[in-house]
Amino acid sequence: MSIAKKEIKKTKAKNKIVFLTVNMRKTTKIVSVNKFILLLLSAILYNSTVSAQNQLYEPYKIEDDKRNNSFFLVPETALRFGTYTNVEIAPQIGYYITDRWSVGAGPHYSFYHNIGHSSTQLSSTHMFGIKSFTRFSVIRNAAEVLPFYLFDELFTHIEYEKINLSNEYFNIPSASKDRIWVDYFYIGVGISQIINPRSSYFVMLLWNLDQSYFYLYNNPTYRVGIKISLK
């Protein structure tokens, strides 16, 4: 009886050992399968991301963007409220004569209101006029020139503006009429950054060459805007 019991115990022990070994192998296989699935999913996600990035950045290639003989819009606006209120609207339509050289023009309207204005007769005024500009792209694709990426384009900017001002508000000396026309001439440089295939934003640093008594902006003038392609 004791010998039989011992043999049964050994058999049970062996069965237990075999059972544990099988479970460990199954666990190992499950872990290996899980790793394989994770690696496969990672590869799929990576390929999808790369493909999406390629599709995303492919339209942004500057060398594929031929701008000559195309129109664009510059919806220039400025808003400021408080003691000094300024509402300015100056939409401009531009045209690319060549891939680098563009010209444009548009109306300009401004409303000023100054609570602390020194004049006792008038604290607000309306200004209107027209502006025109020309730009030349010095660097069309900055990524090909610079060792690091900062912007897409570097351009020069020349602008002429003719504005009708109120003599009563600005107290312009030697002005014999209630309203007079004033000429402004700006020159400067700017950089632009592509947002999507149809639009970009730009930053300009301009200098007003007319330093008369009634110039509106201090030197230098910083300007930020958006350009929208109409082609």
Rounded to 5°, the CA angle 69-183-80 comes to: 85
Give dist(CA 204, CA 193) in Å, integer: 12
Q: Are 225 and 92 in contact (CB under 8 A)?
A: no
Residue at token pair 């496969």: 40
pLDDT of residue 116: 64
pLDDT of residue 154: 95
Q: What is the pLDDT along the chain (231 residues), one digit of tens a residue?
A: 444 444 434 444 444 333 333 333 333 333 444 554 455 445 444 444 444 444 444 435 555 568 889 999 999 988 887 777 889 999 999 999 999 999 999 999 999 887 765 555 567 889 999 999 999 999 988 888 888 888 999 999 999 999 998 877 777 666 667 888 888 999 999 999 999 989 999 999 999 987 666 667 778 888 999 999 997
Give dist(CA 217, CA 202) in Å, integer: 19
What is each CA distance from 188 to 23, 179, 199, in whole angstroms? 77, 29, 22
The type of residue at 211 is Q
Q: Are 185 and 160 in contact (CB under 8 A)?
A: yes
CA 214 centroid distance within chain = 33
The type of residue at 35 is K
pLDDT of residue 44: 43
- List the CATH code of the domain at 61-229: 2.40.160.20
Neighbour tally for 153: CB within 10 Å: 20
Model confidence, pTM = 0.67
Neighbour tally for 13: CB within 10 Å: 10
Give dist(CA 6, CA 2) in Å, integer: 6
